[in-house]
Amino acid sequence: MIQDFSSIIDRFGIGSRGSSAVVHQGTGYFAVTPQAPYDGDLSTAEQTRQLLAKAEARLAEIGSARQGLIFCAIILADMDGYAEMNEVWDAWVSGMAPPARACFEARLANPNLKVEMIMVCAAASTNAE
């Protein structure tokens, strides 16, 4: 039984509650939210733009890019923002093979959050914090 997983799992942004990203056997996993502190006055589209900019930075950090996305779970606080989010998402994935995706509504941890995403990607990272 493996006792020390640090040789097979790369962890990034390690905090007391979780890591900002994890890579195992060439697959990266992370969740991403808009820029904190969350601004509830921003539209769902604006929060989605912020979130996708952070996702691009996170993808680069773990040795990937948007073209390496395998799956994305999109969580909306209110499905009324679905069309707004889709407009931004569609522009972001334009010109590439988009990942598999699911979208659903759920109460998010902060009332100012309108969208959050969970992403899985192909990743080349071997450098953990």
Identify whether 11 is part of a domain. Answer: no
pLDDT in tens, 38-89: 999 999 999 999 999 999 999 999 999 999 999 999 999 999 999 999 999 9
Identify whether 127 is part of a domain. Answer: no
Tally of domains within the chain: 1
Q: Looking at per-residue confidence, does 4 or 38 come out higher?
A: 38
pTM of the model: 0.92
Identify whether 60 is part of a domain. Answer: yes
Identify whether 15 is part of a domain. Answer: no
pLDDT the model gives residue 114: 98
- Answer positive or negative: Cα dihedral of 60, 15, 70, 34: negative
pLDDT the model gives residue 56: 97
Name the residue range of residue 36's domain.
Answer: 21-122
- We report the CATH number of the domain holding residue 101 as 3.30.1330.40
Identify whether 36 is part of a domain. Answer: yes
pLDDT > 90 fraction of the chain, expressed in percent and rounded: 87
Identify whether 1 is part of a domain. Answer: no
Identify whether 2 is part of a domain. Answer: no
Question: 4 near 100, Cβ under 8 Å?
Answer: no
Would you place residue 6 in the very low, low, confident or very high pLDDT band (cuts 50, 70, 90)? Answer: confident
Q: Which residues of 85-101 are buried (b: 16+ CB within 10 A; e: fewer)?
A: beebbeebbeeeeebee
Identify whether 128 is part of a domain. Answer: no
